Structure 1
Amino acid sequence: MDTQDRRQRLLECLKKSNKPLTGALLSRKFNVSRQIIVGDISVLRAGGVTIYATPRGYVLPNEESLGLVAILACKHDDRQMRQELEIIVDNGGHVRDVIIEHPLYGEIRADLMLSTRHDVEVFVEQMKECDAQPLSLVTAGAHLHTIEVPDQESLERIKALLRKENICANS
């Protein structure tokens, strides 16, 4: 299989999958190194394909938006990260990303794509396994989340619960 065929088949795998696919899994499937997969993903993105690189693997965006997109301004310590994410997903939200404003590099964004409590659990466990720190460590806990919610009522409920826990600054 040539490079172009592999990239086309890689894109088809992502389209057919209902869950994120890791670089390791894709490299085994196509019998190439993980770095080749990373390069293929970069070329597909440069060609205009939106591919999210999440902590659980590569995924294409869901064509069906939940309805309303909002950005939440949050600030908390490490111990409240799980609580914050669970409040959002338990109330119908989908966490697209986390964004920080780095003093040197400017905006840094990482795709999360969390929709369920299980997604949150996997994310938190991966952080522990990698001995990783949240991006918000750089900004003393301050960060943004882009979220999708089905309606204004869900958004207001999420914001109220986050405010109650002193996590969200949105009014």
Structure 2
Amino acid sequence: MSKNHRLDIIVKTLCDSDQPVSGTKLAKICDVSRQVIVQDIALLRAKDIDIISTSKGYIILDHDIKREIYVCHTDEMIEDELNTIVDLGGKVENVFVDHAVYGRIEANLNIHSRKDVKNFVNETALKKIKPLTELTGGKHGHLVCASSEFILDEIEEALAKMNILSKKDE
């Protein structure tokens, strides 16, 4: 396992825990010594990640990494796209399109779970609301939050496998 991957695992483990995680437990998860974990925690702190030490282990303070992810797909793919993101640990903060005349148009979504996805899909169907992507032929973006870069990379890989990942300028 690479150092960067290990750092992402440490951050994810700390973010996912509602209680302190000991250095010994992190060492077992990452299959390294406790001393390596101590050094990794120092590296993460140097990257301005708020990790505090307690007598029972490490705690991370509200740490979300954000990335704009661009996709292009039909309306029928909305539910699959959003479920893929939340299933991998992402939170969809918004949806936006870059319109040639009006510029960026965005709407808050705050989708964190499959339940949120289902509610969004049902509400738009019930109210017969057209998605913003109608203005741009399916091309749009989301601001996605996750506890690590690794998770955001996994989300992009999954969307690429679905053949819907796009680039900002495409």
Shorter-normalised TM range: 0.5 to 0.7
Corresponding residue of 2:72: 75
> Does structure 2 retain, via aligned residues, the 8 Å contact 1:159–1:170?
no
The change in CA–CA distance for 1:65 and 1:102 in structure 2 (over 3 A counts) is: farther
TM-score, normalised via structure 2 length: 0.60
Q: 1:143 aligns with which of 136, 140, 143?
A: 140
Aligned equivalents of 1:76 and 1:112: distance in 2?
18
Corresponding residue of 2:16: none
Which of structures 1 and 2 has the bigger CA Rg?
2
The change in CA–CA distance for 1:66 and 1:136 in structure 2 (over 3 A counts) is: farther
TM-score, normalised via structure 1 length: 0.60
> Does structure 2 retain, via aligned residues, the 8 Å contact 1:66–1:148?
no
- Cα drift, residue 66 of structure 1: 4.7
- Is the counterpart of residue 119 in structure 1 residue 152 in structure 2? no
- Cα drift, residue 104 of structure 1: 2.1
The change in CA–CA distance for 1:159 and 1:132 in structure 2 (over 3 A counts) is: same
Letter in 1 for 2:86: V
Q: Which runs of 4+ in 1 moved over 2 A?
A: none
- Cα drift, residue 71 of structure 1: 0.4
Corresponding residue of 1:21: none
The change in CA–CA distance for 1:113 and 1:106 in structure 2 (over 3 A counts) is: same
- Is the counterpart of residue 165 in structure 1 residue 162 in structure 2? yes
- Is the counterpart of residue 155 in structure 1 residue 144 in structure 2? no
Aligned equivalents of 2:145 and 2:66: distance in 1?
4
Corresponding residue of 2:38: none
- Is the counterpart of residue 130 in structure 1 residue 127 in structure 2? yes
The change in CA–CA distance for 1:65 and 1:162 in structure 2 (over 3 A counts) is: farther
What SS does structure 2 have at the residue aligned with 1:87?
helix
- Cα drift, residue 65 of structure 1: 4.8
The change in CA–CA distance for 1:65 and 1:83 in structure 2 (over 3 A counts) is: farther
What is the total number of aligned residue pairs between the two structures? 108
What SS does structure 2 have at the residue aligned with 1:144?
strand
Q: Identity rate of aligned residues, in percent?
A: 31
Q: How does 1:51-130 map to 2 (within 5 A)?
A: 65-130=62-127
> Does structure 2 retain, via aligned residues, the 8 Å contact 1:100–1:143?
yes
C-alpha RMSD over aligned residues: 1.6
The change in CA–CA distance for 1:66 and 1:133 in structure 2 (over 3 A counts) is: farther
Aligned equivalents of 1:119 and 1:97: distance in 2?
13
Aligned equivalents of 2:113 and 2:103: distance in 1?
30
- Cα drift, residue 103 of structure 1: 2.5
